[in-house]
Amino acid sequence: MALLPNVDRLPSGSTHPRKWIAPAIGVALLVFLLVQVNPLVQVSSGYAGVLTDFGSVQPVPLVPGLHFVIPFYQQVFPVSVQPQTVTSDETASTHDLQQVTTSIAVTFHVAPDSAPDFYQNFRDFDTLGSRIIAPAVSNDVKEVTANYDAEELVTKRDAVDEQIKQLIVASLAPYHLTVEAVNVSNFAFSEAYAQAIEQKQVAQQQALQAQYTLQQTQISAQQQVVQAKAQADAAVATAQGQAQALLLTSEAQAKANTLIAQSLTPTLLQQKALDKWDGTLPHYLTAGAPLPFIGTASSEQTGK
């Protein structure tokens, strides 16, 4: 009967397989366990890591980067520190009891140092928005709106927006939120009130148009009065000028006539008559009538 070879015998200088198989299996198992439990955690940029020890939130947040945690004992929860926006539609009453609706958008972010507190109290932004931001915005909008009439919400829009923003910032301050912006959309009134405002604006425009027309009429009437006065003054001035001219002409004519009368002597008149006489004597003379020109001259000489 042949003897079986001894399998435990190995060539001189060789290592038995059992001596390296066990360590290899241990290393592989260790690597597998490390991969499964993942002791390395990465915190991305724009987030703060919240570290918990068996569920207990640690006060110091983890900065972006790679961090080592104890498996099964510690966990890391990312909290966004980027800007977030919560929008809510609000309905309130004005000082003159008009219903007004507006939309408020609050943009904020969680400071990295406040990330553990945020995670411990709210876990996520939906919870923060429904539990804290929406009620605060609603109360603040109602408080500010009640101080103004409906028309003032439009005419004093900048002041209203600033007051709402200040109240919201103050209301959210205890929760370690940094408010970046509060945007208030246009105020929407009831349909009946909107129609009333439109009718009022139409009436105001008509009144302004009527006032403008009246002013134009008054200006036109004033222009006509000024024009008529100018024409009257011009007529008076013309008449005075004509009268003055006529007076001067009459005075000059009178002076001329006086000078002419003074220069007309009987001899000069007879000479002028002779210059115009054609030498024809009248056919009939009455008894004792003087001869033309000669008789007159004889009579004047006789009289002298």
Domain extent at residue 70: 27-80
Do 47 and 69 lie in one domain? The reply is yes
If one counts the domains in the chain, the total is 2
Residue 121 included in any domain: yes
Q: CB-based burial of residue 304 (10 Å sphere; 0-12 exposed, 13-18 middle, 19+ buried)? A: exposed
Same domain, 39 and 55: yes
In a domain, 237, yes or no: no
Residue 257 lies in a domain: no
Mean pLDDT of 233-250: 79
Domain boundary at 170, 189, 208, which? 189
pLDDT surpasses 70 at 67: yes
Is the pLDDT score of 231 beyond 60?
yes
Domain match, 144 and 116 both:
yes
Q: What is the CATH number of the domain that holds 101?
A: 3.30.479.30
**163 within a domain of the structure (yes/no):** yes
- Are residue 96 and residue 38 in the same domain, yes or no? no
pTM above 0.95, yes or no: no
180 and 90, same structural domain? yes
Per cent of the chain over pLDDT 90 is 34
Task: Write down the pLDDT at residue 111.
Answer: 92
- Residue 304: the pLDDT is 43
Question: In this structure, are 71 and 89 located in the same domain?
Answer: no
CB 119 within 8 A of CB 72: no
Same domain (yes/no): 147, 129:
yes
92 shares its domain with 175: yes
pLDDT, position 157: 87
- Among the three residues 189, 222, 247, which one is the final residue of a domain in this structure? 189
Shared domain for 75 and 111, answered yes or no, is no
Residue 205 lies in a domain: no
What pLDDT is stored for residue 292 in this prediction?
Answer: 59
How many Å apart are CA 251 and CA 261, to the nearest integer?
15
Task: Give pLDDT tens digits for 255-282.
Answer: 777 777 766 677 766 676 677 766 666 6
The answer as to whether 67 is a domain residue is yes
* Neighbouring residues of 45: CB distance < 8 A, sequence distance ≥ 6: 64
Tens of pLDDT, residue by residue over 158-180, are: 999 999 999 999 999 999 889 99
198-208 pLDDT per residue, tens? 677 666 667 76
Q: What angle (nearest 5°) sits at the alpha carbon of residue 118, between those of residues 114 and 124?
A: 140
Average pLDDT over all residues of the chain: 79
Residue-wise pLDDT for 140-163, tens only, equals 999 999 999 888 888 888 999 999
3-state secondary structure the chain: CCCCCCCCCCCCCCCCCHHHHHHHHHHHHHHHHHHHHCCEEEECCCEEEEEEECCEECCCCECCEEEECCCCCEEEEEEECCCEEEEEEEEEECCCCCEEEEEEEEEEEECHHHHHHHHHHCCCHHHHHHHHHHHHHHHHHHHHHCCCCHHHHHHCHHHHHHHHHHHHHHHHHHHCEEEEEEEECCCEECHHHHHHHHHHHHHHHHHHHHHHHHHHHHHHHHHHHHHHHHHHHHHHHHHHHHHHHHHHHHHHHHHHHHHHHHHCCHHHHHHHHHHHCCCCCCCCCCCCCCCCCHHHHHHHHHHC
In a domain, 250, yes or no: no
Same structural domain for residues 108 and 74? no
> Is the pLDDT score of 4 beyond 50?
no
pLDDT of residue 31: 65
Residues 95, 71, single domain; the answer is: no
pLDDT interval class at 183 (50, 70, 90): very high
| Residue 37: predicted pLDDT | 63
Closest CA to 171 of 104, 115, 93, 124: 104
> Does a structural domain hold residue 233?
no
Mean pLDDT for 92-116 is 91
pLDDT digits (tens, 9 = 90+) for 10-49: 455 555 556 667 677 766 766 666 666 678 899 999 999 9
pLDDT reported for residue 288: 62
Residue 283 scores a pLDDT above 80: no
- 180 and 107 in one domain? yes
Task: Look at residues 40, 57, 80 and tell me which one is the last residue of a structural domain.
Answer: 80
